[in-house]
Homo-oligomer: A and B are copies of this chain.
């Protein structure tokens, strides 16, 4: 291919290693779309002759590309480009949970990614953020790189107090704790509050990353079943009495994975129950900014007059995951425990990024950005709804969320979403099988589709294809049932 003839490596030794140079060039070709999925890379010997470098240089750079899943090897055949870079980045975002859960990932090629709940990188406000980063560096110089207070950069906490006020949350600056992303928020709350053997309550189903943290603390997890308007109050109260849990972890708006939003009435009742039993509630608000259908998705924290709600907010979904920034609003009661846990976890969050985010929030740029993100997600949401109505077999149960990016489905029994997953992966469609979100893996018929990392055209194509696969499974099942019925002796 002509493309490889044009590769120039800098061999005078003053530049970086040859294998890294080559890795970069090839990666750039893939990123720019000049090398496409399925394109074969030249054989080792051929490229080494062409570029006049050692075989090992080629082998090493191919291996680097392979480790990044940009290329894959076919035994006896060669090395091939695995996927477009853009999709690759998306794929790795939230796909990690199933990845870890399954021990390995089977995908080697480009795929439509309904598994990731993280926005595509093309939605990020890079230019704006570059501006504020440089302003911070010019203004603060070395101070921007010093340790920041464990609780967080004070002016950022001031800015966040104003930010949450726009969401009707009234709090003090001293209650705001900066964190390196929502996952760390869950981690330090667990560290601050949970001891070995303590009970903690979650929704069933819930976020796997939270369960892993609680398990790691040696806590015992109790799940409360979700109803259409939020968790079962009867069950909640019964289990509070039975287990006296340290806290309840919930996502009252666009719950992950179900997309359910709690009714206002239920939010208020849960707060009353919390008050009655002096129960702390951890509210993981990962997406309440993306509300498409009504104005009722207020946070539990904004209704919390007794200071019993620990509020977790990530900026990963609405701004940029790579920032690793978020914040907690911590009730006075447990403020010290959480601060100490933050300190022992990583001392403090990057001061540079905190200072940049402060400027970004203060300038009001975030409001435009959230508007932009909402428009983008809204479009995906609408196409998703249309496609589902058009293609999804009637036998599959689901109810539409009022916002966010997650859709939750139930296959007709006895179909298994793991089985569907394995078939779909081969057709280059990935999603999250439901057993990942349950405490026990018995719940085999559910699955989650996210619209965060798929384009509008991918949504339509993907839902059509996935629906076809489900239809096939249903047909096979029926056929199989018929056969079975036919052979079953009447008792």
Partner-B contacts on A (CB < 8 A): 16-17, 20, 23, 64, 67-68, 85, 89-90, 92-94, 96, 100, 118, 120-124, 126, 129-130, 133-134, 137, 141-150, 154-155, 158, 162, 173, 180-181, 183-184, 187, 191, 195-196, 209, 212-213, 216, 218, 316, 320-324, 340-341, 343-353, 362
Contacts and interface: CB of A to CB of B under 8 A. Distances in A.
5 A-B pairs with least C-beta separation: A121-B142, A145-B320, A145-B322, A322-B351, A196-B196
A352 B322 contact: yes
A67 to B, nearest CB: 6
18 contacts: A23-B155, A89-B146, A96-B343, A121-B142, A121-B145, A122-B142, A145-B320, A145-B321, A145-B322, A147-B321, A180-B180, A180-B324, A181-B347, A184-B345, A209-B347, A322-B350, A324-B347, A345-B345
Contact of A324 (B141, B344, B350): B350
A422 B221 CA distance: 46
A347 to B, nearest CB: 5
B148 A184 contact: no
B126 A345 contact: no
Given A133-B133, A344-B209, A362-B16, A142 B124 contact: yes
A404 to B, nearest CB: 18
A92 B146 CA distance: 9
Given A143-B89, A158-B20, A321-B147, A187 B123 contact: no
Nearest to A346: B184
A133 B187 CA distance: 29
A350 B323 contact: yes
A78 B469 CA distance: 75
Contacts of A322: 144-148, 350-352
The residue in A213, A216, A322 that gathers the most chain B C-beta atoms within 10 A of its C-beta is A322
A337 B180 CA distance: 21
Contact of A187 (B344, B349, B350, B362): B344
A200 B345 CA distance: 18
Given A184-B346, A322-B351, A344-B183, A146 B64 contact: no
A102 to B, nearest CB: 13
Given A143-B89, A180-B180, A322-B146, A187 B352 contact: no
Given A144-B322, A180-B324, A324-B349, 19 more contacts: A16-B362, A20-B155, A64-B155, A90-B146, A96-B343, A118-B147, A123-B142, A126-B137, A126-B141, A129-B137, A133-B137, A147-B322, A181-B346, A183-B345, A195-B218, A322-B352, A324-B347, A324-B350, A350-B350
Nearest to A345: B187
B346 A180 contact: yes
Contact of A129 (B90, B129, B145, B213): B145
A315 to B, nearest CB: 11
A324 B153 CA distance: 14
Nearest to A148: B322
Contacts of A218: 195-196, 218
Contacts of A133: 133, 137
A196 to B, nearest CB: 4
Given A145-B124, A346-B181, A346-B346, A96 B187 contact: no
The residue in A93, A130, A352 that gathers the most chain B C-beta atoms within 10 A of its C-beta is A352
A164 to B, nearest CB: 15
Given A154-B64, A154-B68, A346 B92 contact: no
Contacts of A324: 180, 346-350
Given A124-B145, A143-B121, A323 B343 contact: no
Contacts of A90: 146
A166 B340 CA distance: 37
A196 B216 CA distance: 10
Contacts of A347: 96, 181, 183, 209, 324
A215 B92 CA distance: 34
Contacts of A126: 137, 141-142, 144-145
Contacts of A216: 191, 341, 344
Contacts of A173: 67
A120 B143 CA distance: 9
